Copies of this chain bind each other. A is one copy, B any other.
Amino acid sequence: MKRLIENIRNKLSEKGLKVTPQRISILEAIYSLNNHPTADNIIEFIRVSHPNIATGTVYKVLDTLVENKLIKKVKTDRDILRYDGIVDNHHHIYCSECDLIEDYKDEELDVLLKEYFNKKQFEGFKLEDIVVQIRGTFDKC
């Protein structure tokens, strides 16, 4: 807990960002809300301990965190943005029945993709990353 916040402070400083209570609690919220929260999920979570934070501030901080690669945006086919506190490359399982997005990590898949894309020529294109979208339905849903 103390350690989490210390860790967040360090991440912000390392990027040359001012360490503000708002930025700390937003990152804390993203790390605590496991499943790819929306701005609204984050605001709701934060308001408990930090009732006066402005929604505009939350959106601004989220943008800053994305720009500095402390968080990522998650691609969806809805018109509400979702965020991911895990910045290491990983894949996503999208539920067709609800808006659940689960992480999927597997070294074997990463190796497979790496080998495939190393072999392929992408003329005039600088490859940055590969994310696999796995879509389907969970029995529980």
* Chain A contacts to B: CB under 8 angstroms: 73-81, 93-94, 96, 106, 108-109, 112-113, 116-117, 120, 122, 124-140
Contacts and interface: CB of A to CB of B under 8 A. Distances in A.
Contact of A133 (B75, B106, B117): B75
Number of copies: 2
A124 B140 contact: yes
Contact of A132 (B124, B126, B132, B137): B132
B77 A79 contact: no
Nearest to A109: B116
B112 A136 contact: no
Contacts of A129: 135-136
Given A81-B77, A81-B79, A127 B116 contact: no
A77 B128 CA distance: 16
